[in-house]
Amino acid sequence: MMERTKHRLRAHFLQLLPSTITAQQWPLVLTVTFFGSAVYKVTNLREVFYHQMQVALHLSNLQIGMLASVVGITSVVSNLFGGYLADRVQPRYLISSAAFVSSLLTLIYLSYPPFWGLIGVHIGITICGMLLFWASYIRLIGRLGQVNQTSVYGLVEGVRSLLGIILPLGAIGLVNVMATARLGLRAALFYYAGCFALSGVAALKWLPDEPRIAQSRHGATQRGAYRQLFGHPQLYLIILVVFGTYAVFGLMSYTTPYMTLSHQFSPQVVSIVAIIRQYGVGCLSMPLFGYLSRHVQSPTKVIWWGLWGLLLAVSGLLVSQSAVSLVLSIGLIGFLDNGIRGIYFATQAEMHLPAAVMGVSAGLISGLGFSPDVVSFLVVGRWLDRLAPATAYRLVWWTMLGAVVLALLAASGLWILKTYHECHRNGKE
């Protein structure tokens, strides 16, 4: 009996590992996930080192919010054009260039330039992460998962989340052994600059030359694919799902200072909890959501149920009183939100968006879906500087709740459209 149970569990575990990723492809996966987990850490230091940034760089809550908004605006613009580049330029050149330039900009960052210099560095690194890297990353992973896209996306995003735990732990160790927050933050930035340089070398070595999908001689085909893409109502619903889910992901960073304020957690403990919340639980939930999507043959269904759970988890922030209930709510939000994020790009294939312009599709979804960063941090920074802390954070939690409701409504629309098209197709048959 025990032996049969062990074999059954082993079989289920092996189903989490999609057969479409071969041993020869794992260096590619590790290269892009290593850089992909590192590049956003520098422009999002507030997620883990909010207090240290305030002390070392003498920044107010509003200034940290301004930096985040600049990153958000740059992300939106970069993503809109990044998909176009990804369909025309070899990913290995785009990603290696992004890595080397990010390394150089991070070295400038650690010199602690004035505030406007910080804005310039954040813009530059965001251009590298979004214009050059992101759409190329989505396209590379999408091509790996042509058979089992949901499993591949979930697994690869899970690997990126695992690296999202490991890499910041090194930075936290450096910050903690330094005598001051100023020296610690500088050491962490030097550490990330080294990670970027290593990623650039790995990208040149391990990333293959990809067949270009959108060639200029197929201009008529491209225009037809674009018209088909923009005519899909599913595209706009996917954007809203990403928008709401990503808004929750971004606003989760404010649970970091809130834990110190409400229950006097030490900065070291808060940093570790922040890493686990933002990335750690994702290395479990993303592959799990990918497996569930393949099992029910629909990422949309899994996203829909996950959003209901997320709605309850975010509601927990509004009613939690004890430190234990607060940490549990934060952990559950991170688990569910990361799980949804791990598979929402797989809805492109399920909703039959044209593969010929996958880069443009991913760029549009990312650019508009990630746009909460444009204003949310600026608004929350103003709330924190002008309102009583309890009032400001309560407004943040209500904003997160509204974002979940928006995503849930959009996911419901996707499910209805999917059901309608399936019934229509079955009726024709």
**Residue 321 phi, psi (nearest 5):** -115, -40
How far is CA 327 from each of CA 198, 212, 426, rounded to the nearest angstrom? 35, 46, 47
Confidence at 340, pLDDT banded by 50, 70, 90:
very high
Burial group, residue 376, by CB count within 10 angstroms (0-12, 13-18, 19+): buried
Quick check: helix, strand or coil at residue 45? Answer: coil
Q: Where are the domains of the chain?
A: 25-207+221-428
Confidence check: pLDDT of 332 > 50? yes
Give pLDDT, residue 151. Answer: 65
Q: What is the pLDDT of residues 294-327, one digit of tens each?
A: 888 889 999 999 999 999 999 988 887 788 888 8
Q: What is the pLDDT of residues 367-421, one digit of tens each?
A: 888 888 778 878 888 898 888 988 999 999 999 999 999 999 999 999 898 887 6
Tokens 């107010």 sit at which residue? 60
Give pLDDT, residue 293. Answer: 86
Its pTM surpasses 0.85:
no
Give pLDDT, residue 337. Answer: 94
State which amino acid sits at residue 412. Answer: S
Confidence at 426, pLDDT banded by 50, 70, 90:
low
Higher pLDDT, 310 or 355: 310
Mean pLDDT in the chain? 82
Return the minimum-mean-pLDDT range out of 131-145, 200-214, 267-281: 267-281
- The CA distance from 331 to 333, in Å, is 5
Tokens 């396209």 sit at which residue? 139
Tokens 């029910």 sit at which residue? 296
**Residue 359 phi, psi (nearest 5):** -65, -45
Angle at 123 between CA 132 and CA 139, to 5 degrees: 20
The H or E element containing residue 289 is helix 282-296
How far is CA 220 from each of CA 13, 223, 353, 356, rounded to the nearest angstrom? 45, 5, 18, 12
Q: H helices of 61-180, where?
A: 61-86, 91-109, 115-126, 135-144, 149-177
Give pLDDT, residue 308. Answer: 96
Quick one: angle between helices 61-86 and 115-126, nearest 10? 30
Give pLDDT, residue 8. Answer: 56
Give pLDDT, residue 14. Answer: 44
- CB count, 10 Å around CB of 327? 18
Candidates 288, 286, 258; CA nearest to 274 is 258
Mean pLDDT of the region 349-362: 73
DSSP state for residue 210 in the 8-state scheme: P
Q: Are 398 and 228 in contact (CB under 8 A)?
A: no
- CB count, 10 Å around CB of 229? 19
Q: What's the first-to-final CA gap in the chain, in angstroms? A: 45
State which amino acid sits at residue 303. Answer: I
- The CA distance from 65 to 72, in Å, is 10
Q: What is the pLDDT of residues 22-50, one digit of tens each?
A: 777 788 889 999 999 899 889 988 877 87
Give pLDDT, residue 16. Answer: 46
Distance from CA of residue 393 to its chain's centroid?
Answer: 23
Candidates 106, 102, 109, 118; CA nearest to 68 is 118
Counting residues of the chain whose pLDDT is more than 70, the rounded percentage is 85
* CATH number of 25-207+221-428, picked from 1.10.132.20, 1.10.1050.10, 3.40.1080.10, 1.20.1250.20: 1.20.1250.20
